[in-house]
Each structure stands twice: as C-alpha cells, then as structure tokens.
Amino acid sequence: MTTFGSITAQLTEQAIELPSWAFGNSGTRFKVFSTPGTPRTIQEKIADAAQVHDYTGLAPKVALHIPWDKVDDYSALRDFAGERGLALGTVNSNTFQDDAYKFGSLTHTDAAVRQKAIDHHFECIEIMHATGSADLKIWLADGTNYPGQGDIRGRQDRLADSLGAIYTRLGENQRLVLEYKFFEPAFYHTDVPDWGTSYAQVAALGDRALVCLDTGHHAPGTNIEFIVAQLLRLGKLGSFDFNSRFYADDDLIVGAADPFQLFRILYEVIRGGGFGPDSTVAFMLDQCHNVEDKIPGQIRSVLNVQEMTARALLVDREALTAAQESGDVLGANGLLMDAFYTDVRPALAAWRESRGLAADPMAAYAASGYQQQIAADRVGGTQAGWGA
Ligand code: PSV
Ligand code: MN
Ligand code: MN
C-alpha cells in the first residue's frame, strides 16, 4: 500500500477554483433563502473566497460570472484579488437571463440574436485580458421543450458557426471550455447535452477548445469516471465543475452525495495524467449553498476534494496493474477499495498543521468570528446572481 508520506508532495499541487456565485444567494424555483452577511459585490465575494484559501491553502482562484460580476475596472479587480492572495480564474458567460434568448442564443435562427450572444463572449474575452484569466467557459441554456419546436440539426450547425467566431477571437494563451448538460432549462432537447456533442464541437474548433465536465450534468447511473478517462485519453478534458447531486442538477457540496463516485473520478484523473504540474485540467467548483452558510460550505467542499484526492493517490497502481493483468478480479477490486476506505483525515490534519495551516479548517473558520463580522457589517444592498 502506498503510504501517506509518499503522496504529500503531490497534495501540495492541488488547486481548486471557487465560483464567485457560490458566495451569493441562490436557491430553487420555490424559494431563495438569504444568509446573513451575504456579499453584495464581487469584492465581497472575493474577500470571502480568500477566507477559504486562508484556512485550507487549496483555493487560490476565483471564477467570475459576467454580467453578475461586472465592474468598471477589471485590472483593479485583479489587484484587489491579488492583495488577498487570490488570482481571478475562469470567466463564465451568461446567455440565459435575457429575453432575447428565449429561443436560443448561439443557436438562434435570427442572426442578430446570435451576434448579440457572440458579442457577449467577445466582451468576456476582453475581460479575460484584463483579469489574466485563461479560460472562457460556455454553458448554454439553449434547447427546446417540444419535439418539432426547433430544427435540432440546424441549431447544431449554427452553434458550430457561432463557436467558431468566438474561438477565433481568443488570445494565444486563452482557452474555450464548453460545458454540456443533458436537460434544463430546456426539457426536450438541449443543444449541448452530452460529452460527445461537446467533444464534436470543440474538436472542430482547435487545440485550445476543450470540454468542461460538470459532475451534476449527467443522467442517473452514468459512469462519469469513464467519461473522464476517455476525455483525458483524447486530450480534451479542459475543466471540471465539481458538485454533487442526488436527483438532478442539485449543485450540492462535492462529495456529499456520493464520496465513492468522487474517489473514482479522481482516481481516473490521476491515472490519466490530469493531476499535477504537467496537467492543464482546471478544477472548479460549481455549487450553490441555499440552506447552509456559504464560506464553510466552500471550505467543506475543497476539503472533500482533497480527501478523495489523497485516497485516490494512495491506490497502489503497480499492484493494481498486476492484479488486472493476471485476471485477479477481486484482488484488483480490493486494492481500489483499500485506498477508498483509508481514513486520511488524521494524516491530513497533521500535515496541514506542519504547513502552518489549521488542522481543522472548519473549526478554525467557525472560531474566527468572520461569519459574525460580515453578518453585522453587510447590511443593505443587493446582489446579482442566481438569487437576485
Ligand atoms: C447551470 O446548469 C449551471 O449550473 C452550469 O453548470 C454553469 O456552469 C453554471 O450554471 C453557471 O453558469
Ligand atoms: Mn457548471
Ligand atoms: Mn449546472
């Protein structure tokens, strides 16, 4: 069995990007519950994200969502984040909250609507130049509710054209990541429903176009780690949106619903070269905290990813390969399960402490008084985002 001591160097390489919107209110279509101290501005969201990084050392970047996080001066925002030890990460576009997009955005039959959506992405690319962000993430709400409502083939062709226009505008060091989702808000078909469609679209664009895998965007029972293995094999896994789900796109804390699935995904990431200094895979959270406090929700999330990464790194790969190749079915399965069942929490706590971090980041944050402080300070004002 691989020892904990032999994986700590790899653990220091872990970096998880936090979504700005996780710090804002969000909810369901039934109710958005607010939590005291919720940020009203992107600066307050960044300040909260810095707390997560301070206590865990795991979250050095914050992803933006435009226009929710719109400001006049993005270079100043970059400096603001830098002063708090953070960099600005992925820029997420938004073509789902404008009346013009009722029947689609990049896929719309009306060239003027498509151009509006393309122009929005051009604006995102400009912002990326100022923020130093590498990735433009596109998640499309485009789709139809009824058979016959749209020409699903024509929409695919228009999507390809629109993405082509956006891709050509990217800077040399910038990438486009295309997220897929099998349903919602459209219910009959979505225009990028699965990894195959995302792959087909990005493959046609070029090397700097890749797939974004959101763990909550698959039909129940889907073997997500197989998709991970395949995309890594094809060199097209650009990024993750981590979260967990019981039923639909629940956006719950990653690792909460199915820690074993998270372990299996991270094992394939490591196996496929998606983890570590040579990897270009971006690890992001895409979550909402509707009933729990947001900062501890994010702290718990990055710790869950760290814990399952540690367990996945503990897999004795040499022994596993030997068992696989000799047809030792139960031996191979046992090796994987041994690593999964290893409680790495005490070792991780001691290791954190040895690096000057809190042994228990959840407890340290709770004791810091920050939550009470923001609840007292942040009175009045409104936020932009899901819960707006
Ligand atoms: C909607 O499903 C969604 O959760 C996508 O996963 C995006 O990544 C996110 O919203 C932010 O736009
Ligand atoms: Mn997502
Ligand atoms: Mn989603």
- With a 6 Å cutoff on the Cβ, whether 44 touches ligand 1 is no
Average pLDDT over residues 316-320: 98
The pLDDT value recorded for residue 388 is 66
- CA of 98 from ligand 3 middle (Å) equals 18
Q: Is the CB of 208 under 6 A from ligand 1?
A: no
pLDDT tens track for 271-299: 999 999 999 999 999 999 999 999 999 99
182: CA distance to ligand 1 center in Å?
12
- Is the C-beta atom of 286 inside 6 A of ligand 1? yes
- 284 touches 242 (CB < 8 A): yes
Query: From the CA of 216, how far away is ligand 3's center (Å)?
Result: 6
Report whether residue 287 contacts ligand 1, using a CB cutoff of 6 Å. no
Can you say whether the dihedral through the CA atoms of 48, 343, 14, 93 is positive or negative? negative
Q: Count CB-CB contacts under 10 A for residue 37.
A: 21
Q: 10-308, what's its fold?
A: TIM Barrel (3.20.20)
Indicate if the pLDDT at residue 312 is higher than 90. yes
Whether the Cβ atoms of residue 108 and residue 114 lie closer than 8 Å to each other: yes
pLDDT at 88: 98
pLDDT at 256 over 80: yes
pLDDT, mean of residues 59-87: 98
The predicted-structure confidence for 191-212, as pLDDT tens digits, reads as follows: 999 999 999 999 999 999 999 9
Contact 62, 18 (CB under 8 A): yes
For a pLDDT cut of 70, what percent of the chain falls above it? 99
Q: Measured between alpha carbons, how far is 172 from 203 in angstroms, rounded to an integer?
A: 17
Is the overall model pTM greater than 0.90, yes or no?
yes
pLDDT at 382 over 80: no
241 lines ligand 1 (CB under 6 A): yes
Q: Over 70: is that where the pLDDT of 33 sits?
A: yes
Mean pLDDT of all residues in the chain?
A: 97
In this predicted structure, what is the pLDDT of residue 35? 87
- Tell me: the pLDDT tens digits for 213-245? 999 999 999 999 999 999 999 999 999 999 999
Which atom of ligand 1 lies closest to the CA of 214?
Answer: 6
**Which of 65, 183, 214 is the pocket-test mutation for ligand 1 (most atoms within 8 Å of CB)?**
214
- 135 C-beta closer than 6 A to ligand 1: no
Report the candidate in 230, 233, 228 with the shortest Cα–Cα distance to residue 283. 228
User: Which residue among 218, 241, 242 has the greatest number of ligand 1 atoms within 8 angstroms of its CB, and so is best to mutate?
Assistant: 241
Task: Answer whether residue 383 shows pLDDT above 80.
Answer: no
Q: Which is higher by pLDDT, 384 or 143?
A: 143
CB 298 within 8 A of CB 256: no
Atom in ligand 1 nearest the alpha carbon of residue 181? 2
User: Mean pLDDT across the stretch 140-164?
Assistant: 98
d(CA 115, CA 158): 11
Ligand 1 atom 8: the closest Cα is on which residue? 139
